[in-house]
Amino acid sequence: MSHVVDSGRAFYWGTSEWSAEQIRQAYDFARSEGLVPPTMEQPQYHMFHRERVEREYARLYADIGLGTTIWSPLASGLLTGKYNDGVPEGTRLSLPDYEWLRRQVLSEEGTRRIEKVKRLAPLAQELGGTLAQLAIAWCLTNPNVSTVITGASRAGQVSENMKALEVAERLTPEVMNRIEGVLENRPQPEQDWRNP
């Protein structure tokens, strides 16, 4: 990867779904050998999957300047609200190859998450946006998120997703506290090894 960057074929390189320890080892090795280290990680991150981005990587943001390009900000569509009343025909969960995802969404944990999505809907409406826009905007408010990968199966979804930027501007600390009150899943800060 260092050769790819040095030869001008890429500006930087990164990892995807690596642990903090793996990233740190790769970074330290590259530095010790005079190579280009990884500067970006592509983790899954959304309102229901927070631990890695918010807790595990916490030291890497300041220590090595790690950036993140997050994927699945809508939790495979769960945060759009489209599964609030079951599985609509023509959605990913209705396809045979996605039975694993269907089981996950319709599990006991999935049902609890759907109830939280339902509780977020009025807040999204109050902010003048959709659930999807709220979910993407929420990701954008994390200062350690460099960029968000959004998926779209129709051109209109791209335009709708971009309106999340407007919703993000309305996410005041008070609104963020209301969201946390619904989610109830903020990761606990990592124990500081210097002060056990």
Query: What does the pLDDT look like over 78-132, one tens digit per residue?
Result: 999 998 888 878 777 778 888 888 788 888 998 999 999 999 999 999 999 999 9
Taking 80 as the threshold, does the pLDDT of residue 139 lie above it? Answer: yes
**pLDDT tens string 177-191:** 999 999 999 998 765
Looking at the DSSP bridge assignments, the partners of residue 106 are: none
Place of tokens 């990884």: 38
pLDDT of residue 193: 40
Report residue 30's pLDDT band, with 50, 70 and 90 as the boundaries: very high
Q: What does the block give as tokens for 50? A: 């927070």
Global confidence as pTM: 0.90
Domain annotation for the chain: domains and CATH numbers: 39-183 (3.20.20.100)
Alpha helices in 80-191 (DSSP H): 99-105, 108-126, 131-140, 155-162, 164-168, 173-183
